[in-house]
Structure 1
Amino acid sequence: MREKTRAHYRLVDDVPEEVKRRRHEELASALREESLAFHKSLIGTEQLVLVEGISKRSPSALQGRADSGTKVIFENIGAYEPGDYVVVRVSNCSSQTMQGEALRKTTLQEFYN
């Protein structure tokens, strides 16, 4: 419990550590499953991505964020800079990231009209 709160002073933490750990693992597992299912539903779609910079794992790729906040990795063809909006066709995913192919540079107005 957080210190200096009413709960800290008035309640007793009577949940065993093993139960806390199990609950945390169950919740994390459910979150990963739901996230993966959502990302799989986006495979084949075109997503608006805000370029953040070079991918940490591959210097030949860029990373950015889709509207959903999901990290998107795509090949750096040299035409995009951090701050650019790029249309990316999603081709693969995990529970935390999506991978795809950059199609073109765009603007918010152009993408949504």
Structure 2
Amino acid sequence: MHLWVDTGSPYLARLGEHADVLVSGTVLPPAAARRRIGGLLARYPGCSTAAVSGPDRRCLVGVRARDGGVEYAALECGGPGTAVPVRLAASLVHAWAVSGRAPGALCAVVPLPRR
């Protein structure tokens, strides 16, 4: 289980320092998204994962690495006709990373069709 907080939420001031995952819904190009993720992780040292929406159903998720750097996953968020919320993609990458896997090994979060 983990706590995620939207960076545009009024709860950020109270919960940001406790969040495991911070999510920004502001759409940014990749270079600006990396800067935003770096800024969020620097401002909230207890947070391990930050994500930023990108254009064309993409997002960038940054995970604090053990060496103090940031490891990134550039993801497609959804499949044909189906978008995946950035908060869901960020939560998935967070769970993936805390289980010891490399965030960069992921390239998409696509829902499976219902049976």
| TM norm structure 2 | 0.28
Whose strand fraction is larger, Structure 1's or Structure 2's? Answer: 1
| TM norm structure 1 | 0.29
